[in-house]
Every structure is written in C-alpha cells, then in structure tokens.
Amino acid sequence: MISQGRPEAARELLEAVSPGAETFDVLVERAPYAVSAAYGVATVPTLVLLDAQGRERDRCEGWDRPATERLLAAVGGRLGAQADALPEHKPGCQSRNTLSLQIQEQTERDDAELGGDGVDELWRRGWTDGLPVVPPTRTRVAAMVSERDPGAVLGRVPPIMATLTVERLAVCAVLAGCEPAFFPVVLAATQAVLDPVFNLHGIQNTTHFAAPVLVVNGPARTELGLGSGSNALGFGNRANATIGRALRLMMCLTGGGESGVLDMSTLGGPHKFGLCFAEHEEASPWEPLHVELGFTADRSTVTAIGGESPAGFSDHTSETAEALATTMTLAMEQVWSPCYYPVGAAQTLLIVCPEHARSLADARWSKDRLRQWIFSHARRSAGALRASGSGELSRETLAASDEESIGKFCTPEEILIVVAGGSAGRFSAVIPPVGLSSAMVTRTIDLPA
Amino acid sequence: MDRFVSPLDTSARPRIAPAPRPESLDGITLGLIDISKPKGEQFLDRLAELLVERHALARIVRLRKPTYARPAPEGVLDEASRCGAIVEALAD
C-alpha cells in the first residue's frame, strides 16, 4: 500500500479492506509523490492489480465496492469485517501528485501541524459562526500577519472590550477563509467599525437586525477580485464572502458578541454572516462613493455602514426617470417601520443596479438629482401617517398638525447611493439602516506596493 | 502548546460579582435610570409612585442616558454610584 498522508489513515483503510492487513507493506510517500505519479494515479484511493511481471491487469478508482471485491478476489483476498463502513460508490479525492509542488508542501505542513483537519475541534471550541472554519495554524496565521507587527493593538472591541491585536484579527481572517491578500481590507474595515462614530457597541448588543455592511471602492476591487456584478450581495465570490465573514468572526469571537448571549438580535439575518461588496464603478454613470466622499479615484477605500439585509425591489416597466425614482422613493420609505417618519438614521443606502443607473443617466439625472428627488418626495402628512392605523409613529408625527409634511429623511445627505449588480436585470435594493446613533465610516485600504 | 492560534482575549471577561442586594429599601436613595427608550419615562413615573407608597425611601434620583444606543456616560455612572440601589428601565 502506498499512502500520501498519515500512516494511521492507511492502517484504518487496510483494516477495512482485508483482515490480513498486517501482511501488507505500507510506503508513506512524500512530495513530489513519485510512485503515485509513476502509476498515473489521479484519484485516491486507487487500487491497481499487477501480475507477477509488474504489468497492470486491473484498476479501480475512487470508492467502488464491487470493483474492490473483484480485485481482491483476483489475489485470493476479500473485504474485511469493517468493510461496511466503506461507501458503495463515491468519487474519491484528487491525488496529491496531481497538485503543484507548492500546494503539495503546504498540504504536508498542514498534516504535520494538525494530525487531522481540526474542523470538528474548532466547532467544539465555538470558534465559528455556525459554518466550518479554516484551522488557524501558526503557518496560516503567520502568512496572514505577513510583515506586520502581530502584537500591534488595533483597538478594544465591544461589548467585552477585548484587546484586538493584528494577530487576533489575522486568526479571524484565517478562520473566515481569507487569502492573505484580502487582509488589508479586513484591517481597514475593522478600523472603520472601531471608530466610535460607528457605535459598534450598539450594533453588537441590539435586538435590531444591525450588522456592518461593507462597500469597497477603488483599485483594490479589481486587484483582489471583489465582486461588484452578478450576485454582488452574495454568493459566489471568495473575497466578498470571506472579508465580511472575518469581520463577523472578530465581532463574535474576539469581541464577545455571541448569539443570544451578548448579541441579542431578535431575528438576525443572512447579512450577519458578513455582507461585503464592491461598487460596480465601471457600470456606473456617476462618480463612485469614495470620490464623492473626497478621496481620489486611485485610492482604495472600504466604507462601513450599519444595516439590515438588502431589501430588493423590481422596476422593469417605468418609462421615465421620474417614474423609476418614484419606485425607489417608495422602497426607501419602508425602512425601519413603514409609518415611522423621519427614520432618524445617519445614512440609508440605495444600491442602484446598472440598468436603472443607465436609465437615469440617459435622462440626464445625476446622482445628486436622484438624491434630491427621493429626499423631497419621501414624505407624508402627519395626518396621513396617523390615519394609517399604525401605532409605530414618531414623536414628530404625534406632535405635528394634520397638514404638516414630515420627511422620511431629514437631509438629502442621509441618502447614500452606490451602483452594483450584474449587467442584466432591473432590480435594485435598499439596505435599511440601523439608527442607533451609528454613522458610516470610510477608511483607506493600504495595499502592498 | 495549542496547535491553533487563538482569536480570543481571555483577559477581557473579568468576573464581576453583583453588588450585594439591600435587605430593605427603607432609608435608601434609589436611582431610576431612564435609558431613553420610548415610554421609559412613563414606566419610571409609575414605578416611582408605587415604590414611594410601599417603602420609606430617603429619596428618588432620576437619571437619564442621552441614548439607549450607547453605554452610559461617566456623569450618569458617577451619580448612579452614589445611590443605594438602582432600577434601570428598558421600556419600549
């Protein structure tokens, strides 16, 4: 038997296939797996039947019980007592001799450090958001930290006011599945949410849906392969998925925001696994968010906004900019609670899909014109709000005369607009805000030169 | 040595024992903290009425956090620390 992994794994398999296992010789092979390569093995396990001259007579790839029995019978053997544990048919795994030398060596280092994959143990420790995590071995964490000082303190994380070091954040990034190249975004996003203006304390503890929503702008989007097109808001892109997840793991592990213990969200939401996306700057007729905020276009930034899961809406049939803007306005009026005016949040994010953005730009609507339209049309008279029957009314609404008009937004600047999404489809989305005295924070991303 | 690097700050969860509970509210300065949630004031007004009826309190001190969304500022904590007992109202 030729084993590419741990000798004990080879022994377990031998015990399963043959009661006479102790009579087999086991060769534990190391990179570059020359014997496996010489036999042309592409899948593990592979059984090869050789005759006395060493010529191949039969072969079975992956798990295939009838074929295994056939090969064993040819040499007078049979399946052992533990064979019931073997799958009847299963494809098997990629053989290590088919991987690049670099990956072969990394895999062997992981074997040496883990002695197993460690995933179950990490679940038991609670170092998870509910999904499997990547084991934070010293090798992986060191690669994430890179040239940085691992002990450098990034701040204190509420609610338990834990000290967050570069190394602890790097562990969260490893657990989340980040590539080391993504770590500058995780660092910048962390600095953003730790700014007191963001009020992470409130976001961590609240019964609301609140979570950080991250928007990435500038060259880092393309350099790191962040998703801004189809499924920008999830799923399918490693950078988007793991950067957002690293922040969540930092909040719940280092920060102590454990679900149902100190994170008391009534319902939570899928965005709480992490919501990070890039603005589709190439598909936008308008200036991107970071330029609007005063950064030069060649800088990369991440903007953290407290929000809920995206609330999408369709507009496939409006034929004028005004009609489309009306749909957008009505969608934005639903946030927090449908009859609660003003919403009282620092920012509410409107994510405009490329087709909607193009329709507005073709009608010569700037981003600011859209913002002004929504600001001036997202309003109701206090009388109409009271007549709605809803009891969730603001103090302003309760105190106003029937005719007095109350805006959903107090200033146009509360309406934040970015462009994201695939090239087809007329679906845009609102990120309902959190309130909670939380305001967005933007930080530059320091990519290595 | 642990084979994994930890994301935790194990020193960050100090076990703080709750303050001893008063045997009686008689003669106690009672702090009522409104955390600024809707209707918190109404709730504390009624609570104050009932407590004054039932106990010989020295006095009631009304405190208010500027917003429920953030931890109490130092000033509120200072005043609260001078009270013999505290009721913090969440309301909503």
CB contact under 8 A, A136 and B5: yes
> CA of B1 to nearest chain A CA: how many angstroms apart?
11
Residue of A nearest to B11 (CA): A162
Structure-model confidence comparison of residues A231 and A93, the more confident one: A231
Task: Please give the backbone phi and psi of residue A285, each rounded to the nearest 5 degrees, phi first.
Answer: -80, -5
Average predicted confidence (pLDDT) for chain A: 91
Q: Is the pLDDT of residue A419 over 90?
A: yes
| B5 part of contact set with chain A, CB < 8 Å | yes
pLDDT tens for A93-111 read 778 888 877 777 777 766 6
- The CA distance from A332 to A110, in Å, is 49
Considering chain A, what percentage of its residues have pLDDT values greater than 90?
71
Handedness of CA A121, A125, A127, A129 (dihedral sign): positive
SS3 A360: helix
The partner residue sitting opposite B7, judged by closest CB among A137, A168, A202, is A168
The pLDDT-based confidence of A85 (bands split at 50, 70, 90) is: low
Name the maximum alpha-carbon separation found in chain A: 100
- The CA distance from A272 to A247, in Å, is 10
Given this model, what pLDDT does residue A23 score? 63
Q: Is the pLDDT of residue A115 over 60?
A: no
- The CA distance from A357 to A423, in Å, is 11
Is ipTM over 0.90?
no
Plot region of A437 (φ>0 → left; ψ -120 to 50 → alpha; else → beta): left
The pLDDT-based confidence of A50 (bands split at 50, 70, 90) is: confident
Handedness of CA A154, A155, A159, A160 (dihedral sign): positive
The tokens describing A66, both together, are 């009838």
Task: Please give the backbone phi and psi of residue A13, each rounded to the nearest 5 degrees, phi first.
Answer: -65, -40
Residue of A nearest to B13 (CA): A160
SS3 A418: strand
Q: Answer whether the bond into residue A135 is a cis peptide, omega within 30°.
A: no
The pLDDT-based confidence of A11 (bands split at 50, 70, 90) is: low
Q: Is the pLDDT of residue A234 over 80?
A: yes
CB contact under 8 A, B8 and A162: yes
Instruction: Taking residues A208-229, report their average pLDDT.
Output: 98
B8 contacts in A (CB within 8 Å)? 162, 168, 253-254
Chain A 407-436, residues with CB within 8 Å of chain B CB atoms: 435-436
Between A274-288, A301-315, A359-373, B73-87, the lowest mean confidence (pLDDT) is in B73-87
Given this model, what pLDDT does residue A95 score? 82
DSSP per-residue string spanning A71-101: HHHHTT----GGGGGS-SEE--EE-GGGS-H
pLDDT tens for A244-289 read 999 999 999 999 999 999 999 999 999 999 999 999 999 999 999 9
Instruction: Taking residues B49-66, report their average pLDDT.
Output: 94
Instruction: Give the DSSP letter of residue A181.
Output: G
Which secondary-structure segment (H or E) carries B50?
helix B40-54
Nearest to A305 by CA among A227, A423, A217, A382: A217
Quick check: pTM over 0.80? Answer: no
Given this model, what pLDDT does residue A3 score? 82
Angle between helices A238-249 and A166-176 (to 10 degrees): 130
Q: Is the pLDDT of residue A378 over 60?
A: yes
Strands A27-28 and A2-3 turn out to be parallel
CB contact under 8 A, A437 and B67: yes
pLDDT tens for A327-374 read 999 999 999 999 999 999 999 999 999 999 999 999 999 999 999 999
A250 contacts in B (CB within 8 Å)? 7
- The CA distance from A199 to B68, in Å, is 12
Given this model, what pLDDT does residue A66 score? 82
| A124 part of contact set with chain B, CB < 8 Å | no
Q: Which of B1, B2, B9 is the best residue to mutate to test the A interface, defined by the most A CB atoms within 10 Å of its own CB?
A: B9
- The CA distance from A150 to A155, in Å, is 13
